[in-house]
Amino acid sequence: MQLKLGPQVPSSGVAENFLGVDWVEALDLGAVTVLTGADRGKYPHGNSLLVQGTHQNVLIDPSLTVAERGLSFPVDHALLSHVHEDHLPGLSRLPGVPVHCHEADAIGLTSLDGLMTMYGMPADMEKEFRQEILDDFYYAPQLEFSTFSDSEVFDLGGVEIEVVHTPGHTRGHCVFVIPQARTAYLGDIELSGFGPYYFDEWSSLDEFEKSIERCRSLDADHFVTFHHKWVISGREQFLAMLGDFANVIVNRELSMLEFLGEPRSLDECAAHRFVYRPHVEMKFVDHVELRSARLHLDRMVGDSRVTQMPDGKFRSR
């Protein structure tokens, strides 16, 4: 697919030798440049990726750091790995630049209400988060944007971006592969010790696991995460980290099974904490633990590892 310039976008006039990227802590990987976020991309910041072809420059996941620092070089298109508050604040610095996301996440770009349906928070938490998204992440509905689907290829002139649909974190989460730079951009498949985040209304535990499996076949030498790990160079290292990342889910479930050696209620499972450590105090922890406990219990009841007793409590078989 050829990316077309929006009519309102001034042509960047980018030539073969455009390399004028002025960014503190940029990492040059050839056709791609990692625009390292503040704190190495620690939330609420993140690491954006600039992809430069002979005809087009594409910015993937314009971070909060992009919003705060601005850009000194032209961007023709913005691509989003998924629609979450921290992956789009930099769009505020790209007025008129065409935005693209996977079709399954499109609702998050249309309105704040649409975005909130993707999180599915309890009302009191949602109220506060709405304001944060507006004030701290510069959210504005996109009046015009385009969607893409799995396996689509964007041709930037001598450099391509391939879409790999990897749902689980959100329904439309995607990884991008840039073959000419031997680079894969992993978005929120962040390879952290915390493990996969599948606790939104639009998340899916099973889909996340399938997506991790799919990532094993990514053909690249450099792997960029939006948060946490930043850049992993070397396939072996990546595969080892991907394995550890997937194992966090397995270990959460094994710990729950052990805990369910005695009958426990859903609330008791949530209170025991299988996601966050006991000392972590954040306002959304209880919500995440409850959703996680419910997801894993549903799955383990479904495949008969756990049984639900007449009093509503759960117990491992």
Shortest separation between residue 82's beta carbon and Zn ion, angstroms: 6
Site mask for Zn ion (CB under 5 A), range 8-27, x = bound: --------------------
Please check whether residue 224 is in contact with residue 47, taking contact to mean a CB–CB distance below 8 angstroms: yes
Shortest separation between residue 300's beta carbon and Zn ion, angstroms: 26
Q: What DSSP assignment string belongs to 9-63?
A: SPP----TT------TTEEE-SSEEEEPPGGGG-TT---EEEEE-SS-EEEES--
* Complex with Zn ion: residue 64 or 256, whichever CB lies closer: 64
Please check whether residue 226 is in contact with residue 88, taking contact to mean a CB–CB distance below 8 angstroms: no
Q: Which residues pair with 264 in a beta bridge?
A: 314
Element (H, E) at 273: none
Q: Which residues pair with 174 in a beta bridge?
A: 165
- Positions in 205-234 near Zn ion (CB under 5 A): none
* Complex with Zn ion: residue 84 or 222, whichever CB lies closer: 84
> Tokens 């990514």 — which residue?
218
* Complex with Zn ion: residue 84 or 264, whichever CB lies closer: 84
Reference 26, options 67, 71, 57; nearest CA is 71
Tokens of 123: 């009302």
The residue count for binding Zn ion (CB under 5 A) is 2
Shortest separation between residue 310's beta carbon and Zn ion, angstroms: 39
Tokens of 285: 């922890």
* 190 part of the interface to Zn ion, by CB under 5 A: no
* Complex with Zn ion: residue 148 or 202, whichever CB lies closer: 202
Shortest separation between residue 35's beta carbon and Zn ion, angstroms: 18
Shortest separation between residue 164's beta carbon and Zn ion, angstroms: 16
* Complex with Zn ion: residue 118 or 177, whichever CB lies closer: 118
* Complex with Zn ion: residue 52 or 203, whichever CB lies closer: 203
Mapped onto helix, strand or coil, the DSSP state of residue 206 is helix
* 105 part of the interface to Zn ion, by CB under 5 A: no
Shortest separation between residue 188's beta carbon and Zn ion, angstroms: 4
Site mask for Zn ion (CB under 5 A), range 73-102, x = bound: -----------x------------------
* Complex with Zn ion: residue 74 or 196, whichever CB lies closer: 196
Reference 48, options 30, 25, 14, 17; nearest CA is 25
Crossing angle of the two packed helices 235-259 and 285-302, in degrees rounded to 10: 80
Reference 215, options 227, 202, 224; nearest CA is 224
Range in contact with Zn ion (rule: CB under 5 A) among 12-20, 184-192, 276-284, 296-304: 184-192
* Complex with Zn ion: residue 88 or 177, whichever CB lies closer: 88
Q: How far apart are CA 129 and CA 207, in angstroms?
A: 26
Shortest separation between residue 174's beta carbon and Zn ion, angstroms: 12
Residue nearest to Zn ion (CB): 84
Shortest separation between residue 65's beta carbon and Zn ion, angstroms: 16
Please check whether residue 203 is in contact with residue 166, taking contact to mean a CB–CB distance below 8 angstroms: no
* 188 part of the interface to Zn ion, by CB under 5 A: yes
Please check whether residue 24 is in contact with residue 52, taking contact to mean a CB–CB distance below 8 angstroms: no
Positions in the binding site for Zn ion (CB under 5 A): 84, 188
